[in-house]
Structure 1
Amino acid sequence: MKKLPKSAVVLSTSLLLSLGFNAGADSKPVHQDLLDKHKPEKISEHVYVIQGPTGYPNKENQGFMNNPGFIVTDKEVAVIDPGSSAAIGRAVLAHIRKVTDKPITQVFTTHVHGDHWLGNQAFKEENPDVKFFAHPTMIEEATNGAAAEWISTMDTMTEKATAGTEAIIPTEVLVNAQEIKVGDLTLKAHIIEGKVHSATDVMYEVVGEKVLFTGDNINNKRIVRMDDGSFVGSIKAAEHALTLDVDKVVPGHGPTGSKNTLTYYRDYLSKVYSSVKEMRNEMEAHEMKPKIAEKLADYKDWQGLDEELGKHISLSVLEAEQEDF
């Protein structure tokens, strides 16, 4: 029997993966719903985004809740935040392979929270030489236990739907304003000193494409946890982003938007924090909530507002107290 050329075998494997095919018990799982219902959107000449759902990780969504992105250049492909599991990462990879067969050489992480980067595994499987970039503190925290904690958290929240995921921790350390070449394009890393959404955040500007990936520094139609972050730092990050020459903003969660997305999320953070500073000497945190909620009528339909607002007020009280010292 005549043997198929090696390239044909690779193409066939890639095609099967792109179709979500699982051949036997030993095959690697692929997130089928992501393949079927969440198609990449081309938001500029070279940039694509797969918009995820905005709910919390659960058994039904199998942990998929962020906005993976990829950039197709003349010679290679870069990926930003490939999601929270190996199966999600493989589905993102399958979508990329429907667009291009160029090598995926670089993967960028916006911050340490595992719903954004545990999909790294799929890209290491395809290309052992791929480079993974992140904030130095992200690498440190992930290495010192955060990676294992996030794998456990995702397994618990999804009732083992993310089982089998291995943490591929980035090794390439970024600094503020660093420019990284990806083929004929450039990514610029924007790092705000101190805490923002966490102490590990990087925003990525696709120079020339006027696209900014913000990670969870900015969100749209989604209120996120701020347990690891700073309201003052997050407002500062939004103000910095507003100075950039961008017109498409890819938030950590929620739909891609215009530059107004930056203003809208900054205003949410500002209203919460300034209100707390005004009220904290007159009432307790739980008494503030209904009054602050009245000021946030524009955000009443945002996913997570009911769950997070009380915690945001309490965290703002603590941060305001720390500002006094």
Structure 2
Amino acid sequence: MKRRDFFKSAFAMGAGLVGASALRPLYASQDLEEFRGPKVPDIDAVKVTEHCYMIPAMGPHPTPDNFGMFSNPGFVVTDAGVVVVDTGSSVQIGEMVLRQIKKVTDKPVVKLINTHFHGDHWLGNHAFVEANPDVEIYAHQLCIDNLKSGQDKFWFDFMQSNTNNKITGTVITLPNKTFAGGEEFEVGGVKFRIHHFGQMHTVSDLAVEVVTDKLVYTGDMVMRRVANMEDGSYRGTIDGLSKMAEMDIKHFVPMHGKADDVSLINEGIEFMETIYTSVEELYDEGLSDFEMKPIIMDKPFMKDVASKWPGYDSALGKFIVVAIKEVEKAMFS
């Protein structure tokens, strides 16, 4: 069977391009071009500080209309090259990010950092490896472990399904180097520090501090959005965000929502504390999750602030269920 016919057969069966080890040599093959999803429209990068940029999401959730571009890839321009923080949900988004970087600088991309294992933060790695096979891709070891245990395929399928197959052509491309947290390094005169506060949004969350600019890329550890807490910890998030609030930082860039000052962190703490402490009290009174929800929604912070966040009405119930499980685990451990 000819290679072109092989790939047509594979896609017809729904196999897709999901095996990086076997397909890596074919990244640049013209045979694959006809199987790629559509190009993602350019979104100009927003300059946050002297060296730091973000590319705003096209929506709060992945849809066919936004091509799965629902998080904010970031990048830091230094004299020696560009450091990218999270690469988006597909090769197409990664290619779009590269185009925006080239509008800002002709410096090469020298390092990628994936903040955690959810697919909108690493599936775009493919584009950067295609552009430079030797690029370093960093993540926490627990991120790599989760991806290798099946989260890689899960997130590919999730993004493919939610975009109506518009990430087609994306090759799963995992991080190849690790940060454990606490690392400090310099690239082209810009100082960086990596933080891992334990389990927050996931067990593998990394925060990337650009020390020179007093800025932190927070990943999904904080966001004015109610979406996914299944892999996280309330108590871990409250503790981690409390440490972040004490840092000498002027700018926090979440991967969902707008960059802001420490008020973003303080709101994140209050949101998590409101849910968790309320669930602790109401669980002790014997209430079910359905009974808890209207009581929690009536709390001042929830009515005045959180109710305006994307996903509040649809996902708050899931957040309460996760909080109940964590309360039970704490009670019986």
Tell me, in whole angstroms, the C-alpha distance in 1 between the residues paired with 2:147 and 2:186: 25
Return closer, same or farther for 1:319/1:108 CA change in 2, 3 Å cut-off: same
For the pair 1:175 / 2:183, whether they are aligned, the reply is no
**Residue in 1 aligned with 2:212?**
208
CA distance in 1: counterparts of 2:323 and 2:59, whole angstroms = 24
Matched, 1:252 2:259: no
Tell me which residue corresponds to 1:192.
197
2:308 is aligned with 1:310: no
Shift of 1:182: 1.9
Partner amino acid, structure 1, of 2:164: E
Aligned residue runs from structure 1 range 42-57, under 5 A: 42-57=47-62
Matches of 2:281 and 2:129, distance apart in 1: 50
Residue equivalent to 2:40 = 32
SS at match of 2:202: coil
In structure 2, distance between residues paired with 1:181 and 1:31: 34
Instruction: Specify which of 219, 223, 235 is matched with residue 223 of structure 2.
Output: 219
Q: Is 2:131 the counterpart of 1:123?
A: no
Larger helix proportion, structure 1 or 2? Answer: 2
* Residue 308 of structure 2: aligned partner: 301
The reply on whether 1:272 has 2:275 as its aligned counterpart is yes
C-alpha deviations, 1:124-178, integer Å up to 9, x for none? Answer: 1111110000011001111222111111111111110111111110011112211
> Residue 77 of structure 1 aligns with which residue?
82
Going from structure 1 to structure 2, the CA distance change for 1:24 and 1:273 (only over 3 Å counts) comes to same
- Aligned-pair identity in percent equals 35
SS of the residue corresponding to residue 300 of structure 1 reads helix
- Residues 211-266 of structure 1: CA distance to partner in whole angstroms, max 9, x if unpaired? 1011110102x112101111111111111111211111011211111111000111
Amino acid at match of 1:128: P
Runs of 5+ unmatched residues, structure 2 = 1-29
Distance 1:82 1:260 in 2: 26
Name the SS of the counterpart of 1:238 in structure 2: helix
Deviation at 1:25, TM superposition (A): 8.9
Alignment partners' CA distance in 2, 1:30 and 1:154: 14
Return 172-181 or 101-110, whichever deviates more. Answer: 172-181
> Hey, what does 1:166 align to over in structure 2?
171
Partner Cα separation in structure 1 for residue 39 and residue 315 of structure 2 = 28
CA-CA distance at 1:55 after TM superposition: 2.4
Structure 1: any 5+ residue segments left out of the alignment?
1-22
**Distance change >3 Å, CA 26–CA 323, structure 1 → 2:** closer
Separation of aligned partners in 1, 2:220 and 2:132: 27
1:180 Cα shift?
2.8
Residues 30 and 88 in structure 1, CA contact (< 8 A), matched pair in contact too: no
Q: CA deviation at 1:24?
A: 11
Q: Using the alignment, how far apart are the partners of 2:119 and 2:310 within structure 1?
A: 19
The 1:62/1:85 distance shift into structure 2, 3 A limit, reads: same
Aligned mates of 2:197, 2:308 — CA distance in 1:
29
Distance 1:122 1:225 in 2: 26
Separation in 1 of the partners of 2:266 and 2:66? 29
Alignment of 1:6-155 (within 5 A): 26=33, 31-33=39-41, 35=42, 38-155=43-160
Q: Which amino acid aligns with 1:166?
A: V
Contact 1:49 1:67 in 2 (8 A): yes
d(CA) in 2 for partners of 1:246, 1:119: 28
CA shift for structure 1 position 29? 5.6
Give 1:10's aligned residue. none
Q: What RMSD, in angstroms, separates the aligned Cα atoms of the two structures?
A: 1.6
Q: Which moved more, 1:39-48 or 1:178-187?
A: 178-187
SS at match of 1:208: helix
Rounded to whole Å, the distance in 2 between the matches of 1:115 and 1:59 is 14
Which amino acid is the alignment partner of residue 233 of structure 2?
S
Q: For the residues of structure 2 that align with 1:243 and 1:72, how far apart are their CA atoms? A: 26
For the 8 Å contact 1:46–1:73, the answer to whether it is kept is: yes
TM superposition outliers: structure 1 runs of 4+ over 2 Å:
23-33
